[in-house]
Amino acid sequence: MKTFSAKPQDVQRTWHIIDAKDKILGAVAVEAAVLLRGKHKPIFTTHIDTGDFVVIINADQVKLSGTKENDKIYTRFTGFVGGKKVETPRMVRKRRPVLMLERAVWGMLPKGSLGRQQYTKLKVYAGADHPHAAQQPVERVIA
């Protein structure tokens, strides 16, 4: 018996849409990362991009459990002296609402060229409108 390994030309990509309204941030990110990697498919191969396209709508209405809205901290460094930037989810949501979901999904993808390739298939929108209706995305329900 031979080990199966998917070929890039054999992958059939579909479009999925996830409504993040009143859903927990981590649950939405996990579902999106699984779809982007292709782990829901029987042909999943770790070193090949077998994932699908994912559209997340209503990203500005995603919830955080507990007191994370005020207590969680996003930290980044500009590279300059005194360039440490600290934000809470409340500040991030006000400045750029899709950023929390993008960062959460990015953290769940593999780092390197494969993860960057998979990340390009993620489309996140703050409102309910999106320009991908022509692709006929299949709706994914998160419990």
Q: Tell me which amino acid residue 67 is.
A: T
Task: Give the mean pLDDT of 28-48.
Answer: 96
Q: Are 18 and 54 in contact (CB under 8 A)?
A: yes
CATH level 3 topology of 13-63+97-140: Ribosomal Protein L13p; Chain: A; (3.90.1180)
Residue 80's pLDDT band, with cuts at 50, 70 and 90, is: very high
In angstroms, the CA 127 to CA 112 distance is 30
Reduced to 3 states (helix: H, G, I; strand: E, B; else coil), residue 34 is: helix
Give, in order, the Cα–Cα distances in Å from 45 to each of 10, 51, 93, 137. 12, 10, 35, 23
Task: Examine the pLDDT at 41 and tell me if it is beyond 90.
Answer: yes
Task: Give the mean pLDDT of 16-31.
Answer: 97
Q: Are 38 and 105 in contact (CB under 8 A)?
A: no
Residue 1's pLDDT band, with cuts at 50, 70 and 90, is: confident
Nearest-5° Cα angle at 23, 21 to 28: 105
Task: Examine the pLDDT at 136 and tell me if it is beyond 90.
Answer: yes
Residue 143 has a pLDDT of 79
Task: Give the mean pLDDT of 28-42.
Answer: 97
What digits encode the pLDDT tens for the residues 83-124?
A: 999 999 999 999 999 999 999 999 999 999 999 999 999 999
Residue 91 has a pLDDT of 95
